[in-house]
Structure 1
Amino acid sequence: MQVGFTDDRSAVLASQIDPSKPRNVILFIGDGTDDSMITAARNYALGADGRFALDELPFTGAMTTHGLKVGPGPDYQKAYVSDSAPTASAWSTGKKTVDSRVSQGPSTADNVPGQDYETVLEKYEKQGKLTGNITTSEITDATPAAAASHINLRACQGPTDLTNCPTAKKSNGGKGSIAEQLVDSGVDVLMGGGKNRYDQVTDAGPTALTYATTTKGYRLVQDKAAMDGITSLQGGPVLGLFTGGNMTPMFAPLVAAPPPGTGGPDAQCLPSVRGNQPTLSEMTTKAIQLLDNPNGFFLQAESAMVDKQEHASDICGAIGDLVELDAAVKVALEYQKTHPDTLIIVTGDHSHSTQIVGGNTDGKQVATLRTADGDPMTVAYSTSDAGSDHTGSQIRVAAKGPQAANVTGTIDQTDLFLTMLGRTPSTLPGPGTQPPAPLAPKASVVATDNKISKSDLRKKGLRVVVAAAGATKVTVTLSQNGAILDAKALGSDGGTAKLKGKAGPGSVTVTVTAVGPGGTVTDTDMVKVSK
């Protein structure tokens, strides 16, 4: 039986190389997701010859995940097995740090704060991009925390959790707990579990939730229906708190036990009762809808319960949330089809101890399931007599979109920092002595109003926002029924323009045309005209 591809793939891969800087970045994290866990989930859900969407991304590499140990410095000892705080901080800041430290540098001891490191999300906020941070754990947990907060211990999640982080208290001149810092950072879409942390009282008196909604202007949503009801960010940023703690895994538990273990050759995973909690793919769909704009956005999306269920030696819980991670990746890939200037990266934060083994005596704790092939698969957890823990091996990283080729080979987590920010574009080599083929330009246009009166269109004009790349000439026009009402020339990057014209009731069309060495591209938006 032939498995895999038969044709040479060189031309296909070459066509996927895009050295331009991304406008949008979507980073998917499967917490604790390594190749062994991906394989176990694939075997169960699709069969050994199946492929997830994350398996089909054109550029794939290996990523090292080691951190540092506290000490006198400046040469800190390596920590070959790290937790989620320093690993998430590594891609967020481009720098290594110590266990439990969140986007803050190493120091002499756990209770001694390090230097705050600016994150990718914070840098993009300064550039005016919209930002999102979604997870299936508490949003104050280590991985989402590292995107937009800085603290010496990851456990200091809520205002009353600061016993071991006294200098972080706002009453002591600090930045506050992780819960407070996340809303202070101004993340536009912040969703996951963790309402209990926001129900804690701050130094100033009100709860962190009251602070978020009254002082910082966040709109609270607590279930899928409320989330679906938010259709734009015009009313303010969104804070989704769907559970008090971590969100419910997609599958009910099957917890491994000492040999001969749990499950069996006919065992299957069962759906969990999740109530009105949204899935990661549903949160991803909503986040992209809200964040999509001409200036671009950054979104970090974490499937957190893969790791947490691995810690519990729960193979079904981990499999279900890895399958859901892949569903979220499909959402992003669908968006990328019409927004090719979007970089999608899929990876983990560290490896774990889930191993596919030969039989139900090959580990301290084992569980057996029937896969999509109809055959039994046994997994083992052997780092502990009960539960399991992280390991120190390299993990997979895969990507598609602008600068995705930078994940190939063996890289370190810190390398993702520059790739997500956009490295200085390189020049692609051409065949033989021929110059490289120029890339097609990109352009998008959005009208700031979806409805305008005839009078306002004629006197005040319609404001439009244009984003362009790879172009030498950018023109935006206003037309109705094929007749041009107004036209403006913009810079090669686009910009804003006001288009005026005398139009009748109905609709007008805004069209941007970008011309460059690689060709011509257009994009349109429609606006209703009232009497």
Structure 2
Amino acid sequence: MRHSKTVVAVAVLAGLMAAGSVGAYAATQNTASNQGSAEGFTADRSTALAQQIKSSKPRNVILIIGDGMDDSMITAARNYELGAGGRFAGLDSLPFTGSMTTYGLKVGTGPDYPIAYVSDSAPTASGWSTGKKTVDGRISQGPSTAADVPGEDYETVLEKFKAGGKLVGNITTSELTDATPAAAASHINARACQGPQDLAACTSARKSAGGKGSIAEQLVDNEVDVLMGGGLNRYSQATDAGPTVLDYAQREHGYRVLDDKTDLAGVTSLKKGPVLGLFAPGNMTPMYQPLVATAPPGTGGATTTCQEADRGSQPDLSTMTAKAIALLDNRKGFFLQAESAMIDKQEHGSDICGAIGDLRELDEAVQVVLAFQKKNPDTLIIVTGDHAHSTQIVGGVTDGKQVATLQTADGDPMTVAYSTSDVGSDHTGAQIRVAASGPQGANVTGVIDQTDLFRTMLGRSPSGTPGPRD
């Protein structure tokens, strides 16, 4: 059955957020309300934009990442969910928008390392987390002479906020130990070293060798207040000392372990200790069942639509985001990174429906944080991706190595292609969208690099602005 396009007001979203359950999709077909339509907007927006500029440092920072989310994937999802003239009620409503470069480095003798024009999620996530470039596969650690040679550990935004006494959260729809969430609060030379039994490429990281341990161990050792996502299998691995990471997290750091959305709904504060939600053995289930592109003429057709997947007891991203905010909100402020990870995972698998579903989930999460920001205007919201991907909207079913066709909300067919490989697809080196709202959000405009987000999230020295005083 085709998804519904329910109109949900911000007030309803705020109420759902307080209740810890956001299940409805707040997309509107009244495109004019989002300042976009086939006819465009009519009024000058200069004053409205000027009023959004605030130079004060933010109290709260919420970073939402769409892994592999570039303009082509945003457009494909928008066409499908809302139609060509539609606008996402969250993602497309942020007042400040720019473009962001995502290049990384290659291993070498240094100090001038070769440029990697196409990067994976490890160096790109490390870029905004630490403000510094690094090499493929490297997690918040500097470049070095070879992939198996550790680099210098770089302190992350999350770690800086934690050291400053703020509460911190890290949630994802992938494994918690995957590259993007890992970069927020761990340091290791290879992203594959997710659990204590996965350290073949990171032997010096073993705790028995005097290292910081696997990514799973480091995330709990950093005492991140709210950790949620998939990856139970990594936390079920035995540590060098014997107990599993899960046992270690509970015994040594007081983590309360959540198994499903019922457990999640039952948590109301952090007074009894930090929260570790592990809602799937590996990655969490995408919103939609797969529609995998194949060689021309491809899969799908003019009447094909995406079908809801059975996600059992797993919470969705907006529910996790709402709960994380409710748990983290306090007078001193907080930092939250939330990742919609299966955009990238499904793009790698040439699964257009899976990618669209996780992008829709990202938009739902953005609406949740905008509802929170309305009551807490000292909150900075940044929404972006980590790198571009190879999903392309094309003119016909022969215009790619693999193609799939869907019926969009307009009722017309849209064909997407994947052409970097005969099977699956790869990252590309194109710049991607970055958007923001709130204090110092204007710093994302123009063309920036993802390392610039590090300083913006920490709060730059306030400048005078031509607009209203803060």
Report the TM-score, using the length of structure 2 for normalisation. 0.92
Q: CA deviation at 1:438?
A: 3.0
Aligned AA for 1:438? Answer: R
CA distance in 2, matches of 1:247, 1:407: 30
Match of 2:315 among 274, 278, 300: 278
Match of 1:173 among 210, 219, 242: 210
Number of matched residues? 433
Match of 2:102 among 65, 72, 79: 65
Match of 2:74 among 14, 38, 62: 38
Q: Does 1:20 align with 2:51?
A: no
Q: Does 1:153 align with 2:190?
A: yes
Structure 2 equivalent of residue 320 of structure 1 = 357
Cα deviation digits, residues 6-35 of structure 1 (max 9, x gap) = 111100000000000000000000000000
- What does residue range 115-514 of structure 1 map to in structure 2 within 5 Å? 115-429=152-466, 437-439=468-470
CA distance in 2, matches of 1:217, 1:367: 48
CA distance in 2, matches of 1:2, 1:133: 38
Larger deviation, residues 138-147 vs 52-61: 52-61
Q: CA deviation at 1:429?
A: 2.9
Tell me the SS of whatever aligns to 2:92: coil
- What does residue range 101-112 of structure 1 map to in structure 2 within 5 Å? 101-112=138-149
Structure 2 equivalent of residue 8 of structure 1 = 44
Aligned AA for 1:17? Answer: I
Q: Is the 8 A contact 2:129 2:157 kept in 1?
A: yes
CA distance in 2, matches of 1:429, 1:297: 29
Q: Is the 8 A contact 2:38 2:85 kept in 1?
A: no
Structure 2 equivalent of residue 521 of structure 1 = none
Pick closer, same or farther for the CA change 1:50–1:202 going to 2, 3 Å: same
Runs of at least 5 residues in structure 1 that lack an aligned partner in the other structure: 431-436, 440-531
Q: CA deviation at 1:428?
A: 1.3
Runs of at least 5 residues in structure 2 that lack an aligned partner in the other structure: 1-36
Pick closer, same or farther for the CA change 1:2–1:208 going to 2, 3 Å: closer
Percent identity of paired positions between Structure 1 and Structure 2: 75
CA distance in 1, matches of 2:253, 2:326: 22
Q: CA deviation at 1:4?
A: 2.2
Pick closer, same or farther for the CA change 1:171–1:47 going to 2, 3 Å: same
CA distance in 1, matches of 2:466, 2:306: 50
Q: CA deviation at 1:2?
A: 5.2
Aligned AA for 2:469? Answer: P
Tell me the SS of whatever aligns to 2:197: helix
Q: Does 1:99 align with 2:173?
A: no
CA distance in 1, matches of 2:466, 2:80: 42
Aligned AA for 1:275? Answer: G
Structure 1 equivalent of residue 33 of structure 2 = none
CA distance in 2, matches of 1:321, 1:173: 39
CA distance in 1, matches of 2:219, 2:415: 41
Tell me the SS of whatever aligns to 1:239: strand
CA distance in 2, matches of 1:428, 1:399: 17
Cα deviation digits, residues 427-460 of structure 1 (max 9, x gap) = 1136xxxxxx532xxxxxxxxxxxxxxxxxxxxx
Q: Does 1:54 align with 2:129?
A: no
Cα deviation digits, residues 216-271 of structure 1 (max 9, x gap) = 11000010000110000000000000010000000000000000000000000000
Aligned AA for 2:422? Answer: D
Q: CA deviation at 1:56?
A: 1.2
CA distance in 1, matches of 2:261, 2:282: 16
Q: CA deviation at 1:126?
A: 0.8
Cα deviation digits, residues 494-526 of structure 1 (max 9, x gap) = xxxxxxxxxxxxxxxxxxxxxxxxxxxxxxxxx
Aligned AA for 1:253? Answer: P
**Higher-strand-fraction structure:** 1
CA distance in 2, matches of 1:349, 1:16: 25
**Higher-helix-fraction structure:** 2
Tell me the SS of whatever aligns to 1:71: coil
Tell me the SS of whatever aligns to 1:429: coil
After superposition, the CA RMSD in angstroms is: 0.7
CA distance in 2, matches of 1:438, 1:11: 14
Structure 2 equivalent of residue 29 of structure 1 = 65
Tell me the SS of whatever aligns to 2:173: strand
Aligned AA for 1:22? Answer: P
Q: Which has the larger radius of gyration?
A: 1
Tell me the SS of whatever aligns to 1:299: strand
CA distance in 1, matches of 2:201, 2:466: 54
Structure 2 equivalent of residue 466 of structure 1 = none
Larger RCO: Structure 1 or Structure 2 (Cα < 8 Å, ≥ 6 residues apart)? Answer: 2
CA distance in 2, matches of 1:289, 1:158: 29
Tell me the SS of whatever aligns to 1:133: strand
Q: CA deviation at 1:297?
A: 0.2
CA distance in 2, matches of 1:308, 1:314: 9
